[in-house]
A and B are shown apart, each in its own frame.
Chain A
Amino acid sequence: MSKLLEITNLSVKYFTAKKSITALNSVSLTIPSNKYTLGLVGESGSGKTTLALSIMNLIEGSGRVIAGRVEYNGEDVLSMPPKRLLSYRWREVSMVFQSAMNSLSPVKTALSHIEEVIRVHEHVPRPIARERGLALLEEVGLDREQTNLYPHELSGGMKQRVVIAMALALCPKILIADEPTSALDVVTQKKILLILKENVLKMGLSLIFITHEITLLPGIVENIVVMYSGEIVEMGSLRDVFSSPLHPYTQNLIKSALTIDKNSIIDPNYRNEQPNNVANVGCKYARFCRFALSRCWQEKPCLRVVNGGRLVACHLY
Chain B
Amino acid sequence: MSLPILLGERLSVEFINYKGLFQRKKTTITALKNVSLRIGRSDTVVVVGESGSGKTTLAKCLAGLMDPTQGYVSYMGKDIRRLSGKEFFEYRAGVQMVFQDPFSSLNPRWDVFTSVAAPIKYLRKEINQDIIRKKVSELITEVGLDLNEIQGKLPHQLSGGQLQRISIARALASDPKVLIADEPVTMLDASKRISVLNLLLDLQREHSMSLLFVTHDLAAAKVMGGKIVVMYHGRIIESGDTLQIIAKPMHPYTRLLVDLAPRLEAGGSARNGHDIPERPYKGDAVKSGCSFANRCKFATDICYKIEPSLEVNLGSRLVACHNPLTTS
Contact = CB atoms under 8 A, between A and B. Distances in A.
Given A187-B256, A218-B266, A258 B190 contact: yes
Nearest to B261: A260
Given A141-B274, A258-B193, A260-B218, A186 B261 contact: yes
Interface stretch (A15-23, A74-82, A114-122, A191-199): A191-199
B264 A254 contact: yes
A242 to B, nearest CB: 4
Interface string A175-195: 000000000011110111111
A212 interface: yes
B198 interface: yes
A43 B161 CA distance: 12
Interface residues of A, number: 48
28 contacts: A43-B191, A158-B281, A185-B216, A186-B50, A187-B256, A187-B257, A187-B260, A188-B279, A190-B260, A191-B278, A193-B273, A194-B271, A198-B272, A214-B264, A215-B219, A242-B266, A243-B266, A253-B190, A253-B191, A258-B194, A259-B261, A260-B246, A260-B258, A260-B261, A261-B263, A261-B264, A265-B223, A270-B195
A35 B246 CA distance: 35
A268 B218 CA distance: 20
Interface residues of B, number: 42
A265 B264 CA distance: 12
A32 interface: no
A259 B216 contact: no
A256 interface: yes
Given A186-B218, A261-B264, 4 more contacts: A212-B191, A214-B264, A257-B262, A268-B194
A187 B279 contact: yes
B310 to A, nearest CB: 22
Q: Output the residue of B218, B219, B271 with the most chain A CB within 10 A.
A: B219
B273 A218 contact: no
B268 A260 contact: no
Nearest to A212: B190
A213 B261 CA distance: 12
Contacts of B262: 213, 215-216, 257-260
A198 B273 contact: yes
Interface string B192-224: 111101100000000000000000111110110
B268 A218 contact: yes
Contacts of B198: 267
Contacts of A158: 281
B272 to A, nearest CB: 7
B261 to A, nearest CB: 4
A243 B267 CA distance: 11
A262 to B, nearest CB: 7
Q: Output the residue of B194, B198, B273 with the most chain A CB within 10 A.
A: B273
Contact of A185 (B50, B258, B263): B50
B264 A215 contact: yes
Interface of A: 43-44, 141, 143, 146, 155, 157-158, 185-188, 190-195, 197-198, 212-220, 238-239, 242-243, 252-254, 256-262, 265-268, 270
Q: Output the residue of A186, A216, A243, A252 with the most chain B CB within 10 A.
A: A186
B107 interface: no
B281 A238 contact: no
Contacts of A198: 272-273
Given A212-B189, A218-B264, A243-B266, A258 B217 contact: yes
A104 B192 CA distance: 32
Interface of B: 50-51, 189-195, 197-198, 216-220, 222-223, 246, 256-258, 260-274, 276-279, 281
Contacts of B189: 43-44, 212
A267 B198 CA distance: 8
A257 B194 CA distance: 8
B264 A194 contact: no
Contacts of B195: 267-268, 270
Given A258-B219, A261-B264, A214 B271 contact: no
B264 A268 contact: no
Contacts of A243: 266
A185 B189 CA distance: 17
Nearest to B198: A267
A254 B266 CA distance: 12
Contacts of B269: 218-219
B219 A267 contact: no
B268 A195 contact: no
Contacts of B217: 186, 258
Contacts of A262: 264
Given A157-B278, A187-B278, A195-B273, A265 B266 contact: no
A197 B273 contact: yes
A195 B274 contact: yes
Contacts of A188: 50, 278-279
A47 B322 CA distance: 50
A157 B258 CA distance: 20
A219 B269 CA distance: 6
Nearest to B189: A43
